[in-house]
Amino acid sequence: MNKNIEVLTDQLALIERSLNLVVSKINGAISERDRCTIALSGGSTPKALYQALAQENLPWEKIHVFWGDERYVSADHPDSNQRMTREAWLNQVNIPQENIHPMPTSAGDPALDAQKYDRELQEFFGVSAGEIPVFDIILLGMGDDGHTASLFPHTEALEVCDRLVTVGNKDGQPRITFTVPLINQAIGVIFIVAGASKKDALTQVLAPNPDGKTYPSALIHPKNGELWWLLDRASFPAT
C-alpha cells in the first residue's frame, strides 16, 4: 500500500490540494482506461470540493459518479448526500444523467436497496458475485468518532466481507454503505479531513496499531492502490 499523509495550512488550502489531486486522478484514469469511476462522500468539507469541481473543464461524458454511502432518506431530502452533490456540482456541469449512479432509497427496506446497489455495481463493472470491482477513486471523510462512509464503531457493517454494499447504522438510523473490502479494492482512496474535532480520532487512526472496530477509518488500507490522507493543520495530531 502506498500511503500518503499531507497536512495543509487551512481548509482553503486543503480544498485546493484536494481539487488538484482529484482532477489529476480523474485525468489519469481517463488517459489509461478511457473512463473514470469515482465514489463520493457527504459532508461540508467535500461540498466545497464539489463546488470547485463544478468550475473545472473535464470530459464529463467519461466520468461515472457513484456514492460510497447514503442516508436512508428520499433524494430530495435536505440530508441526502445525492441532493447535496447534485446542487453543488452535478447540476452545474454537462454530465450525462446515465453517468450518475445514486444509491437507491425508495424500497422502504434498506437491505433491499443495498442489494439493488450491489447488483448495479456488479453489472456496471462486469464482475460476478463474489468478485470485487475496482473504483478509480473513492473519496472519504472521517467523523469525530473515527467512522468513515457509514461504517460506524462497533457495528455489524464493519464485519461484512461477502457483499459490496450493506446497511450501516447510526444511532438506530439506517444508512447504505460500501463495505470495507470494496473500499480497499480501489486504485485510489482519498480521505479529506478538516477541523480540530477530528484530532483525537486521527491520533488513534494513524497510530501504529489502531483499533479498527473502535475507529473504523483505520480499516481502510487499499490492497494494491494508493491511500491519501489530506488534512488541515487543525485536525492533525500533535507530535
Q: Which tens digits make up the pLDDT trace of 146-191?
A: 999 999 999 999 999 999 999 999 988 999 999 999 999 999 999 9
This prediction has a pTM of: 0.97
**What's residue 2's pLDDT?**
81
pLDDT at 203 over 70: yes
Q: If pLDDT is split at 50, 70 and 90, which confidence band does 43 have?
A: confident
What DSSP line would sit under the chain, residue for residue? -EEEEEEESSHHHHHHHHHHHHHHHHHHHHHHHS-EEEEE--SHHHHHHHHHHTTS---GGGEEEEESEEESS-TTSTT-HHHHHHHHTGGGS---GGGEEPPP--SS-HHHHHHHHHHHHHHHHT--TT-----SEEEE---TTS-BTTB-TT-GGGG--S-SEEEEEETTEEEEEE-HHHHTT-SEEEEEE-SGGGHHHHHHHTSSS--TTTSGGGG---SSSEEEEEEETTTSPP-
